[in-house]
Amino acid sequence: MTRRAYDNTRRTEQARLTRRRVLDAARDLLVERGPIAVTMRDVATRAGVSAETVYKTFGTKAALIKDVYDVTLAGDDEPIPMIDRPEIRAVLAATTPQDKLTRYAYAARGVSERTGPLLAKLLAAARSGDPVLAEFRETINRERTFGAGSVVGQLVAIGGLRPGLDPAKATDIVWTLIAPEVYELLVTDRGWTLDEYEKWLARMFIDALL
């Protein structure tokens, strides 16, 4: 490796580490204080970088919040789409409707466990009327619709969807069951364990769709 290539690699890695430090700091602050009370300067101070670095890296607070959510959703900052993650690949690989939905419940549990505390604060702010967070809520609702529609489409492809059930309605059912509000009600408010939540989710999918 040439000196120039080494320096470029080192700078790229340093930039990635700085970005991850900012994302971790932002997530901690968002969960602690809620998004309304967190500024870009607060994040910079917590991360040990300049405010200029935060603005240069993310541009806006809205973009920072979305990136925090995306990394929390995935569980890391690797550039791997969710569809290529092991838990989603397992859903795609399942050959029976019951197995597919059981694996999807496991994947949904992981997502809810990772994003639950963060989404509780972000969605509360969205419901309070903050326009930036309201747009964020619409974005993640669309993403959840896409994910729900994908698993329903897989059921249709293997002839597993209950006869007479409109795929669009089936998508709405899945979209509702995996909603962060449902996770918060059962796990956070009612004290269900994650195992109980996952088993319930799988049973609801199977009873409603197959």
CATH 1.10.357.10 fits domain 80-210: yes
- DSSP states of 117-131: HHHHHHHHHHHTT-H
CA gap 209, 46 in Å, rounded: 46
Torsion sign over Cα 23, 27, 32, 34: positive
pLDDT surpassing 80 at residue 104: yes
Place of tokens 């994947």: 107
Contacts of 169 (CB under 8 A, 6+ apart): none
**pLDDT band, very low/low/confident/very high, at 9 (cuts 50, 70, 90):** low
Q: Lowest-confidence range among 9-23, 145-159, 163-177?
A: 9-23
Burial of 1 (0-12, 13-18, 19+ CB in 10 A): exposed
Q: Which amino acid is at 65?
A: I
Residue 113 sits at the vertex; the CA angle it makes with 107 and 115, to the nearest 5 degrees, is: 100
Crossing angle of helices 97-127 and 131-157, rounded to 10°: 170
pLDDT surpassing 60 at residue 5: no
Q: What is the pLDDT of residue 1?
A: 61
What values do phi and psi take at 33, rounded to 5?
-110, -20
Looking at the domain that runs over 1-78, which CATH code has it been given?
1.10.10.60
The two structure tokens encoding residue 80: 């791997």
**pLDDT band, very low/low/confident/very high, at 4 (cuts 50, 70, 90):** low
Q: Which amino acid is at 203?
A: R
Q: Lowest-confidence range among 8-12, 52-56, 94-98, 110-114?
A: 8-12
Q: Which amino acid is at 32?
A: E
Tally of helices (H runs) and strands (E runs) in the chain: 10, 0
pLDDT single digits (tens) 120-162: 999 999 988 888 899 999 999 999 999 999 999 999 999 999 9
Domain range summary for the chain, segments of one domain joined by +: 1-78, 80-210
Q: Provide mean pLDDT across the span 69-92.
A: 88
**pLDDT band, very low/low/confident/very high, at 82 (cuts 50, 70, 90):** confident
Q: What is the pLDDT of residue 54?
A: 96
- Rg of the chain over CA atoms, in angstroms? 20
pLDDT surpassing 80 at residue 3: no
* C-alpha distances out from residue 36 to 33, 112, 127, 133, 204, Å: 8, 22, 12, 9, 35
pLDDT surpassing 60 at residue 7: no
- The verdict on pTM exceeding 0.85 is yes
